[in-house]
Amino acid sequence: MRSLSATLLALGLLALLAVPFFPELVYSIFIMKTLCFVLFACAFNLLLGHTGILSFGHAAFFGTGAYVTGLLVKYYGVPTELGILAGGLVAAALGAIIGALAIRRSGIYLAMITLALSQLVFFFFLQAPFTGAEDGLQRIPRGTFLGIVDLRNDTALYYVVLGIVAVGLWLVWRTVNSPFGHVLRAIREHEPRAISLGYPVARYKVLVFTISAGLSGIAGALKAIVFQLAALYDAHWHTSGDVILMTLMGGMSTVFGPAVGAALVSALNHYLDPFGAWVTVITGLVFMTCVLTFRQGVVGQLNQLLRSRRLSAPDAKVDARPRTNHQ
């Protein structure tokens, strides 16, 4: 199974590397947008899937990343790579603040608090004099990467985005498979026990909130550079809902399931775009179906299928012990 997923990962990476060579087949801007959402969803799932915290306000971090990067690059001439980094850092700081407030309650209260706080952030971007209100922050220059790679070239930009997203995903994977990640799962499974074992649970939660928000901010920053636009929609609660759908659809008990979900939702939005308001209706129906019948998500379901096949195979004795799967 490990070899199977490694093969799949390698194939996927190869396909992604090849994208700019087949412009008549795939539209590289669309893939870049999808990559941003892939990072966003995987970062979001650090909270939902791995710590058991539902944040309904992650658009605040995504939007903050986009706006901060846009403002710095456009008005202060900050180099693009530093702008993206700053976007991630400011989003992380906001994540620490919102996280510290939100974890004063738990469960659905926490979800409602994050939603309300993200609405506060949304109103800030709507009303602040420097964000372009409903129009968003437009004509953000793409600049160069490290002063050498000209990002106005879509192919160059594509590889830079792919590289940054890959590093981001590696960070997510590293976090999940670290001792820190194990404590997070302990908190998800049984919070009182984690407390009684002496773990400073509140601090862990704020920290994972911060990491998740920072990576979400990076994702938003990349989207702002790709589209040269920090849109108000990026900070809207619809975006918070989208990222939850991506995660749920891909499988929140896995590390890279949300990536698959992000690709699916992104494709859904892309191909349904001509149908206008129907997109919302169809997204809603898909969401409903996922919640009612498909809570494990695509990758979760696939994992289960593989596992049960393994167990029914004659030589299953060797590996029949139950194990949690986190690749």
> Which residues make up the interface to another protein (CB under 8 A)?
54, 56, 101, 104-109, 111-113, 115-117, 119-120, 123-124, 127, 237, 241, 244, 248, 276-285, 287-288, 291-292, 295
- Distant-in-sequence, close-in-space partners of 48: CB < 8 Å, separation ≥ 6: 54, 55, 244, 247, 252
CB 299 to another protein: min, Å: 18
To another protein, the closest distance from the beta carbon of 82 in angstroms equals: 31
* Nearest CB to another protein, comparing residues 112 and 149: 112
Supply the minimum distance, in Å, between the C-beta of residue 70 and another protein.
22
Token digits of residue 149: 């790679």
Look up tokens 């979760």; give the residue. Answer: 300
Query: Smallest distance, Å, CB 220 to another protein?
Result: 20
Three-class SS string for 239-279?
Answer: HHHHHHHHHHHHCCCCCCHHHHHHHHHHHHHHHHHHHCCHH
User: Considering beta carbons, is residue 39 or 115 the nearer one to another protein?
Assistant: 115
Q: Cβ 113 to another protein, closest distance in Å?
A: 6
Least separation, in Å, of the C-beta of 290 and another protein? 8
**139-178: b (≥16 Cβ within 10 Å) or e:** ebebbbbeeeeebeeeebbbbbbbebbeebbebbbebbee
Nearer to another protein, 32 or 243 (CB): 243
Least CB distance to another protein at residue 270 (A): 17
Report the C-alpha gap between 43 and 39 in whole angstroms. Answer: 6
CA–CA dist 78, 74 (Å, integer): 8
Asked whether the beta carbons of 259 and 168 are under 8 A apart, the reply is no
Nearer to another protein by Cβ, of 55 and 175: the residue is: 55
Helix (H, G, I), strand (E, B) or coil at 129: coil
Nearer to another protein, 20 or 57 (CB): 57
Closest listed residue to residue 61, CA positions, set 143, 118, 128 = 118
Q: Which is nearer to another protein, 14 or 292 (CB)?
A: 292
- Sign of the CA dihedral running 90, 96, 97, 99: positive
- Which tokens is 199 given? 């773990």
For residues 84 and 252, which CB has a smaller minimum distance to another protein in the complex? 252
Compute the distance between CA of residue 286 and CA of residue 265 in angstroms, rounded to an integer.
10
